[in-house]
Chain A
Amino acid sequence: MQFTSLSFVLFAAVTVGLYYLIPKRAQWWLLLAASYVFYFFAGAEYLLFILYTTCVTYFTARWMQSRADREDAYVLANRDTMEKSARKEYRANEKKKRFRILVGGLLLGFGMLAVLKYTAFVLTGVNGILSAFGASGINIPSLLLPLGISFYTFQSMGYLIDVYRKKTHAEQNFFRLALFVSFFPQLVQGPISRHSSLSEQLFSEHSFDGFSFRSGLARVAWGFFKKMVVADTAMIGVKGLVEGSAFTGAYVFVLIVLYSIEIYADFTGGIDITIGLSQMLGIKLAENFDRPFSSRSTKEYWRRWHITMGTWFTDYVFYPLSVCTPMQRLSKWSRAKLGAGLGKRIPVYLATVVTWFLTGFWHGAGLNFIVWGLLNCLVILVSQELQPLYNRFGAKFPRLVASKPWEKWQMVRTFLLMGLIRSLDCYRDVGRTFRLWGTMFTKFNWGELFSGGMTSFGLTLAEWCVIGCGVVLMYLASRLGQDEPVREKLARRPVLLCACVCLLVLAILVFGAYGIGFDASAFIYDQF
């Protein structure tokens, strides 16, 4: 059951309807049942995998929690007799034990993800080495990749780390945890939620709130519009550009822009459906985007794009990696040997590289994703290094740097740079991508685009118009919603909101790139 299918719309409508009809204390049970029904339709065999993750998460967290509770009780009971140093030692000892449990849980949880997602990739590499030595390769098994596995694994493992860090309390009720892992609106493409903020909302009782219901509904409709009208139409062109071998030079530039539009509309559209639907259920999920294309630097872009993934990697990879003992030792060593300037940087840079490497790898088992992650990292580190230069430039031309055009230039630059790196995601083959980037400098010719070129890769003029209108609408919505989202402004005027939703539905039904003649396309982020 895809988000953009009629059956999902019906399913969601029935779920929301029932949600407010049944007794409030049963609401979360309904969500659990709905989530499992939803996942069942994605693939009955997938249920085993999500149950596995749920069990691993539940028991690991319970185990850590019971140790932590015992630890606290022990300390409390021996408050008077225990010396401060003894207490500290005891706590440290206990923490070590809990850490071992955590590592076990993480290995089990990430292990499944690693096996399912990365076996083929790793074995392909191994076979490459084997064949280099003349040995015969290993058969690559075809493993199924359960829908949304990267997302629910990350959310569950984040929860385990939070329990370990005592940032949240382990869930006692297995079914509650099962809902936390499987909550259907966010199951397939995030956002990656934190237990501390989501659980409270999932399990509290919700009365119907007209305002948030309307606002959620408008957001869902807007999400469908972005996905089905803009993203799926743009996809036709992206596909054509990627599949044709003749689309070099200026066409690569078109691809960069078009794919940026597609992925923005696709991913933010999907998240709008997720968050809007949750809002209709009275549940507020974390935002995943904050007008990313208005970012003026790569670093800023990554604070605004796929926010929950970024913070996940920061909190659970970058931060612990930066402060772990070996890293601190490295820091000490490098400072002593290489001086304060370089010495200070090495551990931070190492942690950044690892984080970005893993971010890339999380997106997919492929060299292109790794290169994508590392290139992002490179851009961030280089611009960090060049910061003093920028500062000097800023001091020299303060009026220029503070001007609007300069700001716009920075936005365009960031947009294009991110788009360029993102095109690795389209072309998939790293070598081909680099070669095509090269053609932008050697064979760039605007002329060919406007002598029929723009309609030579699958998009008709009419479809370009649809994309254009969609982009204008998305821009306006973003501009008008700077202080308060448009949907909330509308939610206060129900008749106007109703009209807008009806118009969106009409636009989706007529202009949506769905049905025969269009390849049914899953959300891009479902695959990660």
Chain B
Amino acid sequence: MKKIICILLSILTLFTFVSCGGGEADTDAKKYVFVSGNVTVKLDDPAEPILSALGEPRQYSESPSCAFDGLDKVYVYAGFKLQTYPQNGKDFILSVELTDDSVATPEGISIGAGKDQVITAYGTPDSETDTSLTYKSDASKITLQFLLRDGKVTNIQYQKVTE
């Protein structure tokens, strides 16, 4: 009987060592980022380097929050719009909105694409209504939303979930 225990222990030992060589499972499957030229825009990242890489915006506006310092800012570029939020004196990316078909998501979807194309590119959405398809990132920190009219994409928004 004691042999059994010894054998069990050795098997357990072997097994775990084998598993150590196995490598890690891919857990980063669902991360939504927007890419403009060679600039990657990731939500929640510090805004400063991204904004300077994107260059001068076509339009800019800022808006305060009630009772607190710091400004929400919006930058409009050709084909997309970027919003930032302030935290501890620094700005971070809050959302990216694709506004016309001159730009596309890295997965190849742009405004005017069909609903089927979105599903082919992104898989089954996490939630779906008549007017939208919504995808959530793994940690549910980011949503990617496609607004639809007559089965066609009319607007694409990457948003940080604020709750």
- Asked if chains A and B come from one complex, the reply is yes
Residues in A lying within 8 Å of B, measured CB to CB: 96, 99-100, 103, 121-122, 124-129, 131-132, 137, 140, 320-321, 324-327, 354, 357-358, 361, 367, 370
**With known contacts A124-B25, A140-B25, A324–B20 Cβ distance under 8 A:** no
B20 to chain A minimum Cβ distance, whole angstroms, is 5
The answer on a CB contact under 8 Å between B25 and A137 is yes
One of B5, B6, B9, B23 near A128 (C-beta < 8 A): B23
Residues in A with CB closer than 8 Å to B24 are 124, 128
Q: Counting CB contacts under 8 A, is B123 at the interface?
A: no
The answer on a CB contact under 8 Å between B25 and A324 is no
The answer on a CB contact under 8 Å between B1 and A320 is no
The answer on a CB contact under 8 Å between B2 and A354 is no
Cα A121 to Cα B13 with chains together (Å): 13
Q: Counting CB contacts under 8 A, is B68 at the interface?
A: no
The answer on a CB contact under 8 Å between B25 and A321 is no
B93 to chain A minimum Cβ distance, whole angstroms, is 19
One of B1, B15, B20, B21 near A96 (C-beta < 8 A): B1
B105 to chain A minimum Cβ distance, whole angstroms, is 27
The answer on a CB contact under 8 Å between A99 and B18 is no
Q: Counting CB contacts under 8 A, is B29 at the interface?
A: no
Residues in B lying within 8 Å of A, measured CB to CB: 1-6, 9, 13, 15-16, 18-25
Residues in A with CB closer than 8 Å to B1 are 96, 99-100, 103
Residues in B with CB closer than 8 Å to A358 are 9
B97 to chain A minimum Cβ distance, whole angstroms, is 29
Residues in B with CB closer than 8 Å to A103 are 1, 4-5
Residues in B with CB closer than 8 Å to A126 are 19, 22
The answer on a CB contact under 8 Å between A324 and B22 is no
One of B2, B6, B9, B18 near A125 (C-beta < 8 A): B18
The number of residue pairs between A and B whose CB atoms lie closer than 8 Å in the complex comes to 62
Chain A interface, >50% SS class: helix
15 residue pairs A–B, Cβ–Cβ below 8 Å? A96-B1, A100-B1, A103-B1, A103-B4, A122-B15, A122-B19, A129-B22, A324-B5, A325-B2, A325-B3, A326-B3, A326-B6, A327-B6, A361-B16, A370-B16
A397 to chain B minimum Cβ distance, whole angstroms, is 42
A334 to chain B minimum Cβ distance, whole angstroms, is 16
A242 to chain B minimum Cβ distance, whole angstroms, is 17
The answer on a CB contact under 8 Å between A127 and B22 is yes
Cα A128 to Cα B3 with chains together (Å): 30
B1 to chain A minimum Cβ distance, whole angstroms, is 5
One of A125, A127, A321 near B20 (C-beta < 8 A): A125
**With known contacts A122-B19, A354-B9, A361-B16, A127–B25 Cβ distance under 8 A:** yes
A355 to chain B minimum Cβ distance, whole angstroms, is 10
The answer on a CB contact under 8 Å between B16 and A324 is no
The answer on a CB contact under 8 Å between B6 and A129 is no
Cα A354 to Cα B8 with chains together (Å): 12
A16 to chain B minimum Cβ distance, whole angstroms, is 39
**With known contacts A327-B6, A354-B13, A125–B25 Cβ distance under 8 A:** no
Residues in B with CB closer than 8 Å to A140 are 25
Q: Which chain B residue shows the least CB distance to A358?
A: B9
B17 to chain A minimum Cβ distance, whole angstroms, is 8
A329 to chain B minimum Cβ distance, whole angstroms, is 10
Residues in A with CB closer than 8 Å to B6 are 321, 324, 326-327
B89 to chain A minimum Cβ distance, whole angstroms, is 15
Residues in B with CB closer than 8 Å to A326 are 2-3, 6
The answer on a CB contact under 8 Å between A357 and B13 is yes
Cα A131 to Cα B19 with chains together (Å): 12
B11 to chain A minimum Cβ distance, whole angstroms, is 12
Residues in A with CB closer than 8 Å to B16 are 121-122, 125, 361, 370
The answer on a CB contact under 8 Å between B15 and A128 is no
Residues in A with CB closer than 8 Å to B9 are 321, 354, 358
Cα A326 to Cα B16 with chains together (Å): 22
Residues in B with CB closer than 8 Å to A124 are 19, 22, 24-25
Beyond the given pairs A125-B21, A326-B6, 7 more chain A to chain B contacts, judged by CB atoms under 8 angstroms and listed by A's residue number, are A124-B24, A321-B9, A324-B6, A325-B2, A326-B3, A354-B9, A367-B20
Cα A115 to Cα B1 with chains together (Å): 23
B140 to chain A minimum Cβ distance, whole angstroms, is 15
One of B5, B19, B21 near A121 (C-beta < 8 A): B19
B14 to chain A minimum Cβ distance, whole angstroms, is 11
Residues in A with CB closer than 8 Å to B22 are 124-129, 132
Cα A184 to Cα B71 with chains together (Å): 49
Q: Which chain A residue shows the least CB distance to B17?
A: A370
Cα A358 to Cα B5 with chains together (Å): 13
Q: Which chain A residue shows the least CB distance to B9?
A: A354
B45 to chain A minimum Cβ distance, whole angstroms, is 14
